[in-house]
Copies of this chain bind each other. A is one copy, B any other.
Amino acid sequence: MASDDQAVPVFPKPVTLRDVAARAGVSVATASKALNDQGRMTAETRERIRETARSLGFRPNSLAQSLLRRRSFTVGLLTNDTYGRFSLPLMSGISDALVDAGVSVFLCNVEEDPRLGQLHVEAMLDKRVDGIIATGKRIDRHLPVDLSDLRVPVIYAFTQPDPDAIAFVSDDAGGARLAVEHFCRLGRRRIAHVSGPASFAVVPSRAQAYRDVLEEHGLPAMEPLLGSWSEAWGHEAVARLFDGGAEKPDAVFCGNDQIARGVIDALRERGLGVPNDVGVIGFDNWEIVAEATRPPLTSVDMNLAALGREAGLTLLSLVGGKPAAPGIRKLPCRLVVRQSCGHPMDG
């Protein structure tokens, strides 16, 4: 048994402010002030203490600081997006905005499980997070947790907020406009729209933007084809669009990149060239999909990282005590042009 001891690594005791003070021959109070640029002392004393701290490798214990300041420099990110398709770009933006302020992020995946949600929220609250950001995989659904009346500020990003909360979402309608207007500018005349289930809030909102833009350009709007978010539906939609006797579209704006992928593949199978015969634009700009289509897919990017940054910075200012008006802030999307949408048709 005793011989096992050598196998368990022993970690050195962290050096405390006390150690620094003792080594420098001053009180902890003075040491603290020296390191924080506070209080009065000779420049020489201050530098001596600093040098001592450096040489000892002193790092202040964040827990002690937090306890005193009632601020832990941590925030929680709550999500139910297991695959992280939306959460991770968001997380990346949040982290980016916060890391320089010394704030770390707890990532909590609550799936669809209220018990798990409760568990995570309580754990975070106990750890005195400074705030919570809630996000999800669907913009029109609540997380399976109640975040009202928490003791900390809460910000919603890319998910349905409680009333009177602060929320950041992408401007879906604006994103759709970007795509359809791009087609118009390129000279496409018969632009179709293939999207997901009507039960998703983004679907009607993008569809409306689609209709609006076409009307503004005096072009005919076709009835949006609503189905599922899958490639398979993209295939089927192409069949519906091109099998009938009706006039064929020369462009398809898709509700996500997987549908777009299905559309592109189906078009090719029919001998229709993308983008020459039919232009295609997707939504989400999921690079792994968008770059694998042939040709590479033009797609609307929701700027999730930027959205995360905004959310992070806003939370930070909220934590700092600055008030912020409740409400929903829509952040613009961005069209990432690759090859599937084609070039101007006449030139």
Residues of A at the B interface (CB closer than 8 Å) are 4, 7-9, 11-12, 14, 59-64, 66-67, 72-74, 76-77, 82-84, 87-88, 91-92, 95, 99-100, 102-109, 116, 119-120, 122-128, 151-153, 230-232, 258, 261, 265, 288, 292, 321-323, 325
Contacts and interface: CB of A to CB of B under 8 A. Distances in A.
Nearest 4 A-B pairs (CB), nearest first?
Answer: A8-B323, A84-B84, A107-B107, A7-B323
A274 B131 CA distance: 52
Nearest to A102: B123
A interface: dominant SS: mixed
Contact of A4 (B124, B127, B323): B323
23 contacts: A4-B323, A7-B323, A8-B321, A9-B153, A11-B153, A14-B151, A59-B125, A61-B128, A63-B63, A63-B66, A63-B127, A63-B128, A73-B127, A74-B106, A91-B107, A91-B109, A103-B123, A104-B108, A104-B123, A105-B107, A230-B292, A231-B292, A258-B288
Contacts of A73: 127
A99 B120 contact: yes
Number of copies of chain A assembled together: 2
A82 B88 CA distance: 7
B106 A119 contact: no
A199 to B, nearest CB: 21
A14 B95 CA distance: 27
Most buried by B among A8, A88, A107, A258: A107
Nearest to A76: B104
Nearest to A5: B323
A99 B104 CA distance: 18
A105 B105 CA distance: 8
A280 to B, nearest CB: 17
A287 to B, nearest CB: 8
A99 B126 contact: no
A123 B12 CA distance: 18
B153 A62 contact: no
A126 B7 contact: no
A73 B9 CA distance: 19
Given A14-B151, A67-B67, A258-B292, 11 more contacts: A11-B152, A11-B153, A62-B128, A63-B66, A82-B88, A84-B87, A84-B88, A99-B116, A104-B106, A232-B292, A261-B292
A343 to B, nearest CB: 23
B63 A67 contact: yes
Contact of A61 (B8, B14, B67, B106): B67
Contacts of A288: 83, 258
Nearest to A73: B127
Contacts of A82: 88, 92
